[in-house]
Amino acid sequence: MNPQNRIDKSSWKVIIPDVVKRRDQSVGHGFCNGHPVGSAHAMGGKEVAVWWPGNTPVLITSAKYKEARITYARGNAIAGVWSTGKGSKEGAIVWSFDKSGLMKDTDLHDPSRYTGSAAMATTGGVHVGSGDPKAKGKRWQDIKTVGLVWRDEANAVELPAPATVDVSVNGTDGESHVGAIDGGIAVVWRGEKSQPIELGPKDAASQALAVHDQEQVGVVWRKGEPHAALWKGTATSLVDLTPRGFAAARAQDCAQGFQTGLVKKRERLSSGFENLESRAVLWNGSNAYFDLQDLLPNPWNASSADHIEISDDMLRICGTAYQVVTTGSGKEAYPSLAGSTIVVWECKLRG
């Protein structure tokens, strides 16, 4: 069945979890054990990690480190970065559940090999991210960031890549990993021993952000505008998901033939400021889309769909809703964020 035909459009529901005490701004990062996960802060304040079991906020902390931020959540794990505070060192961290059902954090960072590291995604006990190697005798500008894979909290394995380029790893399905090399070439690795397969077109910068069910999604830049990209393992399989009527778009996650992300009329306003009025969307392999922004109540006039989860007959999307306020117009337009909240869209799927 065509993925779009699987959606029961009459069943769409929007859930906005409770506000975190003293931190009225929040953003979504995914799902853990079926519950929304994100971060929260007061306007201009410090960010804290949060999840919402039963839509009630519970802070996520590290037993060892002063600060920690979340980058991604999926299945029964949460990926992120710990920090020691001011002038801080940073390292990869993952939260998961022990046999008694309690959440625990595991420090993935290896200080003997890396000056810093970050976990950017997790699926099925496999975590991916990046690290900055220690390199005695080298100038700092000659040290290149490497892509890392951890399996069940074991020592990190470096993904193959040319030694002269920086590597970023953004997503994994447990077997394949995606990201970019050399600052702007989307790639996929078919396992830890595989050389990176270039997905991005030769004439444009690109970034792969997620991989699931034999699909990879991300961004390709065309004439200064980001376009939502879908691949199926090769550069020639590229599909531009950017709908007609929109100049900018990003595909940020995928599952079972669906893709989630955002679209914009244009990336920047005529004033030169970034256009903050994005619209969360759901695709099914072409530039036809379902507009998730239309489901949001006031005052949320912008949004982003960042993560998708499908379980049995239920499709759920975690993202962020924004209140954008623009003062002035034309070349004097100045947009700003007046608020944000984690949001979950969900609907039933037909068989």
Confidence of residue 44 (pLDDT cuts 50, 70, 90): confident
In which residue are the tokens 């859930």 written?
Answer: 15
Sign of the Cα pseudo-torsion (140, 170, 192, 94, in order): positive
Identify the pLDDT of residue 140. Answer: 63
Answer yes or no: is pLDDT of 131 > 90: yes
- Please state, in angstroms and rounded to a whole number, the distance separating the CA atoms of residues 192 and 329: 50
The domain defined by 12-348 folds into Methylamine Dehydrogenase; Chain H (2.130.10)
Residues ≥6 apart with Cβ < 8 Å to 322: 276, 278, 300, 301, 302, 303, 304, 337, 339, 340
Residues 34-46, mean pLDDT to the nearest whole number: 90
Which long-range contacts does 97-104 make (Cβ < 8 Å, 24+ apart)? 97/33, 103/60, 104/63
Residues ≥6 apart with Cβ < 8 Å to 79: 70, 71, 72, 73, 92, 93, 94, 119, 120, 121, 122, 127, 129
- Please state, in angstroms and rounded to a whole number, the distance separating the CA atoms of residues 177 and 307: 16
Of the candidates 109, 119, 106, 126, the one whose C-alpha atom is nearest the C-alpha of residue 175 is 126
Residues 298-324, mean pLDDT to the nearest whole number: 97
Of the candidates 218, 219, 189, 223, the one whose C-alpha atom is nearest the C-alpha of residue 203 is 223
Confidence of residue 141 (pLDDT cuts 50, 70, 90): low
Answer yes or no: is pLDDT of 242 > 90: yes
Identify the pLDDT of residue 311. Answer: 92
Token reading at 59:
């802070």
pLDDT in tens, 2-20: 556 889 999 999 999 999 9
pLDDT in tens, 150-196: 998 789 999 999 988 999 999 999 999 999 999 899 999 999 999 99
Answer yes or no: is pLDDT of 138 > 70: no
Confidence of residue 217 (pLDDT cuts 50, 70, 90): very high
pLDDT in tens, 243-274: 999 999 999 999 999 999 999 999 998 888 99
Residues 290-310, mean pLDDT to the nearest whole number: 97
Residues ≥6 apart with Cβ < 8 Å to 88: 67
Per the CB < 8 A criterion, the answer to whether 148 and 166 are in contact is no
Average of per-residue pLDDT values in the chain: 93
Tell me the domain boundaries of the chain.
Answer: 12-348
- Please state, in angstroms and rounded to a whole number, the distance separating the CA atoms of residues 266 and 272: 11
Q: What is the pTM of this model?
A: 0.94
Identify the pLDDT of residue 222. Answer: 93
Per the CB < 8 A criterion, the answer to whether 159 and 180 are in contact is no
Answer yes or no: is pLDDT of 211 > 80: yes
Identify the pLDDT of residue 292. Answer: 98
Q: Specify the higher pLDDT residue, 80 or 86.
A: 80
Identify the pLDDT of residue 2. Answer: 59
Answer yes or no: is pLDDT of 1 > 60: no
